[in-house]
Amino acid sequence: MQRVRIALALLVVGAVGVAAPFAIAAISAGSSSSKIVTIKVTATEFKFVMSKRSVPKGTTVIFKVTNKGKIEHDFKIGTKKTKLLKPGQSTTLKVVFSKKGNIAYLCTVKGHAAVGMKGKFGVGVTPPKVTTTQVTTTTATTTTGTTTTTPVTCTSPTSTINVSMTEYKFTLSQSSVPAGCIQFTIKNDGQVQHNFSLIGVKAGTIMAPGGTETWAVQLAQGSKNYTCDVPFHDSFGMNGTLTIT
């Protein structure tokens, strides 16, 4: 009888030992899943709006980033960054926050953080308030010479101007050319979309990075202002004046 009791006791201990790892695994799984949080991030000109700006230490966050602006943006937090998002595009970014503190986030497109696309995300702490920057868009005006003519396209260039577009400026091979048929060879050497628009004459195509185009127009003596038509790029400095002698 004593032997039977001992055998039963050993059987119970063995069953508990087998079940324990499964119980621990189940508890761990429940604990892990409770630390995964999805946060919506909306990018516009020029700010981020988050559905939540702080989490406890040890939380895994899935940032769902959507560009609801009119130009391209991205989202970087800590050492992780999304791809460059065109207007209307979305993506996700998974980040594990293992350390307590305020973590910086920003848009890495040149000039965007400076005008408001940045902030702090709190991990186990309360983040500072977000401050916004008011951006004023200005549009250049066109000054013509004493003789007014209607610019037209032409096919036999007398001068060629190479135009390089970057963030946020134009670099022209010449700032002054004789009147005549002027050819513009334009390339987007930047990281976001740009175009070259000769105000009142011709608006070039809005091109992705690496894009090129060439066109020619007949220009009379005077001056012509140029700009980038992508929203806010003019106010960032993408404008200038071409002199026609």
Both tokens of 104, joined, read: 């910086």
Q: What is the C-alpha separation between 68 and 115, in angstroms, rounded?
A: 17
Min mean pLDDT across 62-71, 76-85, 109-118 is at 109-118
Q: How many residues does the chain have?
A: 245
Could you say which DSSP state residue 154 is in?
-
Give the pLDDT band of residue 51 (cuts 50, 70, 90). very high
Peptide bond into 168 cis (omega under 30): yes
Q: Give backbone dihedrals phi and psi of 18, rounded to 5 degrees, phi first.
A: -70, -40
State the average pLDDT over residues 215-237.
Answer: 92
Give the pLDDT band of residue 6 (cuts 50, 70, 90). low
Both tokens of 126, joined, read: 């309360």
Report the pLDDT value the prediction gives residue 19, as an integer from 0 to 100. Answer: 47
Q: Which of 46, 50, 104, 105 is nearest to 72 (CA)?
A: 46
Could you say which DSSP state residue 219 is in?
E
Express each pLDDT in 11-44 by its tens digit: 544 544 544 454 444 444 444 445 999 999 999 9
Would you say 68 and 105 are in contact if contact means Cβ atoms under 8 Å apart?
no
CA 178: distance to chain centroid? Answer: 40
Mean of pLDDT over the chain: 83
pLDDT above 50 for 185: yes
Number of Cβ within 10 Å of residue 14's Cβ equals 10
State the average pLDDT over residues 200-207.
Answer: 93
Q: What is the C-alpha separation between 200 and 151, in angstroms, rounded?
A: 9
Peptide bond into 46 cis (omega under 30): yes
pLDDT above 50 for 219: yes
Give the percent of the chain with pLDDT over 90.
Answer: 64
Cα within 13 Å of Cα(41), Cβ side: 33
State the average pLDDT over residues 95-114.
Answer: 92
Task: Calculate the CA dihedral of residues 151, 199, 74, 83 and round it to 10 degrees.
Answer: 10
Q: What is the C-alpha separation between 41 and 67, in angstroms, rounded?
A: 9
Min mean pLDDT across 18-32, 65-79, 126-140 is at 18-32
Whether this model's pTM surpasses 0.85: no
Report the pLDDT value the prediction gives residue 221, as an integer from 0 to 100. Answer: 95
